[in-house]
């Protein structure tokens, strides 16, 4: 590796020296002191594109005073462009080697999820909760690593692979039925979990805090919501139904559809909240697990179906099959489609939240023997 690194240094130095002495099409010799107007990136390497426009004598003269001549400029260019890039190249090579070693050793049994700057506490607690209270196969969290401001969850690797949208279209009906039957059992188990340990039921994550849901707010988790009425207010961007319809210039029938949907009050049930093909692991016709529990929590009963339709609406075969394992709420789903999605909006809602509330598993189990 060291010899290869030295070879790369030498080749890049020769390349720049060659560029400094070659002829431009407009006739000026590249050995003249010029100014680097811009940088280009080619095949992972940085090079200077040195430009001196024909007839621009003042430009080249000023460049000479800045560069101190060809020799000095050549050295500065090499130091400023090549050497820093070599460190990046070496770091990338080392990371690639470590990654490959991990894949053929510990990576066969351990999966590392990179959460970026998001907190891993909720997902780790949720996976533990689901493993304790259902038979749904989920990864076992082994630990959390905080590195360079990012958080990584180390968890057991599940067998199989995620469902592929192209393969789903060609699966036999028997294979699909077997997979959908297992998913139906998983969703049923989730919805049988009792409400969070407070009254009235709040819409919240496993620890009683805000929900991570990109359908509600993409910037960060938001909530908890006092009730479904307050959650619907978030979906409508903090507006009444009439004001929302007026701004969106919605037809009367669409306005009434939204009003009818948002006037309903659904039971609060435990929800995965990100049922998508990429989060379902299978091996043949056996479902080996559900993954990505970051968005899970207690939500209105219709939300699992609405969110699953919103997540992968472009795969018609999958959307058609959702209703076979998630209780369908077609009217609510149509209303949600009519509302649309505002990516960066976040409502400012006054949500009372008492920190003395007990959201522990012991408290939950006491209320759900």
Q: What is the dihedral of CA 102, 106, 109, 112, to 10 degrees?
A: -50
- Residue 369's pLDDT is 53
- Residue 122's pLDDT is 94
- Residue 341's pLDDT is 57
- Residue 215's pLDDT is 84
User: What residue ranges of the chain have pLDDT lower than 70?
Assistant: 1-87, 198-199, 201, 218-219, 341-369
- Residue 185's pLDDT is 98
- Residue 333's pLDDT is 95
Q: Which residues contact 168 (CB under 8 A, 6 or more apart)?
A: 176, 277, 315, 317, 318
The domains of the chain, with CATH numbers, are 2-104 (no CATH), 106-153 (no CATH), 160-367 (3.90.1200)
Give the model confidence (pLDDT) of 79-136 as tens digits.
Answer: 555 556 666 777 778 878 888 887 888 888 999 999 888 889 999 999 999 999 999 9
- Residue 367's pLDDT is 53
- Residue 221's pLDDT is 80
- Residue 82's pLDDT is 55
> Which long-range contacts does 13-22 make (Cβ < 8 Å, 24+ apart)?
13/78, 13/82, 15/47, 16/47, 16/48, 16/74, 16/77, 16/78, 16/81, 16/82, 17/74, 19/47, 19/48, 19/50, 20/50, 20/70, 20/73, 20/74, 20/77
- Residue 110's pLDDT is 92
């Amino acid at each position: 590796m060291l010899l290869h690194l030295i070879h790369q240094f030498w080749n890049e130095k020769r390349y720049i020296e060659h560029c400094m002495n070659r002829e431009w099409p407009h006739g000026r010799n590249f050995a003249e002191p010029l100014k680097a107007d811009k940088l280009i990136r080619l095949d992972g390497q940085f090079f200077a594109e040195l430009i001196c426009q024909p007839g621009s004598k003042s430009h080249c003269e000023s460049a000479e005073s800045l560069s101190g001549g060809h020799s000095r400029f050549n050295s500065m260019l090499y130091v400023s462009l090549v050497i820093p890039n070599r460190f990046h190249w070496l770091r990338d090579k080392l990371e690639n080697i470590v990654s490959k070693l991990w894949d053929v050793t510990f990576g066969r049994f351990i999966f590392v999820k990179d959460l970026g700057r998001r907190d891993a506490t909720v997902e780790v607690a949720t996976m533990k909760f689901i493993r304790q209270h259902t038979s749904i196969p989920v990864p076992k969290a082994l630990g959390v690593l905080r590195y360079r401001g990012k958080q990584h969850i180390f968890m057991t690797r599940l067998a199989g692979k995620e469902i592929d949208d192209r393969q789903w279209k060609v699966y036999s009906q028997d294979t699909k039925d077997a997979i959908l039957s297992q998913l139906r059992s998983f969703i049923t188990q989730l919805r049988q979990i009792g409400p969070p340990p407070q009254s009235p039921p709040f819409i919240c994550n496993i620890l009683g805090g805000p929900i991570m849901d990109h359908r509600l707010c993409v910037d960060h988790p938001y909530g908890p919501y006092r009730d479904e009425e307050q959650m619907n207010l978030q979906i409508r961007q903090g507006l009444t139904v009439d004001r929302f319809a007026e701004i969106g210039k919605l037809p009367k029938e669409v306005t009434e559809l939204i009003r009818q949907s948002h006037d309903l009050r659904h039971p609060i049930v435990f929800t995965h909240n990100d049922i998508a093909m990429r989060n379902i692991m299978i091996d043949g016709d056996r479902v080996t697990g559900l993954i990505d529990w970051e968005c899970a929590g207690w939500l209105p009963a219709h939300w699992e179906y609405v969110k699953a339709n919103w997540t992968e609406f472009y795969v018609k075969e999958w959307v058609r099959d959702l209703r076979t394992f998630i209780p369908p709420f077609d009217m609510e789903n149509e209303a949600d489609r009519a509302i649309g999605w505002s990516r960066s909006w976040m409502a400012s809602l006054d949500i009372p939240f008492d920190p003395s509330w007990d959201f522990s598993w012991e408290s939950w189990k006491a209320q759900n023997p």
